[in-house]
A and B are shown apart, each in its own frame.
Chain A
Amino acid sequence: DIQVTQSPSSLSASVGDKVTITCRASQVISTYMNWYQQKPGRAPKLLIYGAYRLQSGVPARFSGSGSGTDFILTISSLQPEDFAVYYCQQSFSALTFGGGTKVEIK
């Protein structure tokens, strides 16, 4: 099975900050990495698929990069509505989620 290690598990940031979250897969997965946002009491929402492709309707301040085993989700300028938990997920072989990153207000 492919394991996915996400870091950090939590971070504190201010509105307007640039935020980066990383995921590392236990083996090469090409660009089969997806990113989701989950707010309390809600189902997750797809932000990025295929490592860097922005899902329709998602603001351009969200971006993804990486290939192989190392991937990054970047929020270029954090907005109040971005405080949430973020998950990466590999879809190269079956599916595996990262452990999540909680983005909190500093």
Chain B
Amino acid sequence: ELQLEQSGAEVTKPGESLRISCKGSGYNFSNYWITWVRQMPGKGLEWMGKTDPSDSYTNYSPSFQGRVTISSDKSSSTAYLEWSSLKASDTAIYYCARLNQALVHAVDYWGQGTLVTVSS
């Protein structure tokens, strides 16, 4: 069964660093881009960026460029989303998802989401 398994919920303080993960299984992880999507409390979906696990190439939304780091490790079939200095406004659910080029780059599988809470 194809799955994207995300790491568990995090509670952190402003200024701290954090990395969350997304492990793919049930398919060839290198063959599909992984994208990250933010959903702030009670709000809509925001595209953050994407990574190609085959060569680690990464592309960011201008809104998130410089604020987060997206990476992937094809050897462990895992993608990552990382912050160096969190803010309270980073509190949100973060989804990883698989982009399917055969479906005109639609997202066909999603992780369960990781809730990140940033509070002093």
Contact = CB atoms under 8 A, between A and B. Distances in A.
Nearest to B62: A1
Given A43-B111, A94-B59, A87 B44 contact: yes
Contacts of A99: 44
B110 A44 contact: yes
B47 interface: yes
Select the residue from B44, B108, B110 with max chain A CB neighbours within 10 A.
B44
Interface residues of B, number: 23
Interface string B79-120: 000000000000000010101000111111011110000000
A95 interface: yes
A31 B44 contact: no
Interface string B6-28: 00000000000000000000000
A50 B107 contact: no
Contact of A49 (B62, B95, B106): B106
Given A94-B59, A95-B50, A46 B44 contact: no
B44 A97 contact: yes
Given A1-B62, A87-B44, A97-B47, A43 B112 contact: yes
Interface of B: 35, 37, 44-47, 50, 59, 61-62, 95, 97, 99, 103-108, 110-113
Interface of A: 1, 31-32, 34, 36, 38, 43-46, 49-50, 53, 55, 85, 87, 89, 91, 94-100
